[in-house]
Amino acid sequence: MWAFGSTLYLFSDLLGRAGQASSSTHQACIDKERQGRDASAFLPREAFVKCSEEAQATRDALMEGRWVRIALIAFAPAIARLMVYGLIAFVGSRRP
């Protein structure tokens, strides 16, 4: 239960952070594109495409390697248990 819950939490948190960073990147790009233009003027389509691509690149960079991190969190209790049992077995085999 712990592994499932922590995996779900970690993935949800990672998605939230990536979404926030992506949104911030997109808004900063849009603000940069609007500088020097009339506030009521529409931005060209190319500006929106460029900003969307930058935002997607930011999101992709943050989501890279997510499955490795999630697997480590999910399997940490099992790995720790195996290490403890291995240590106990090793110490037990060394007793006279």
For residue range 12-30, what is the model confidence (pLDDT) as tens digits?
Answer: 888 899 999 999 999 999 9
Cα separations in angstroms, 19 against 9, 28, 47, 55, 85:
15, 14, 20, 9, 41
CA distance 23 to 9: 21
Confidence bin at 70 (pLDDT 50/70/90): confident
Q: What is the pTM of this model?
A: 0.65
Q: In the structure encoding, which two tokens stand for residue 3, read together?
A: 């592994």
Residue 96, pLDDT above cutoff 70: no
For the chain, percent of residues with pLDDT exceeding 90: 36
CA distance 45 to 19: 22
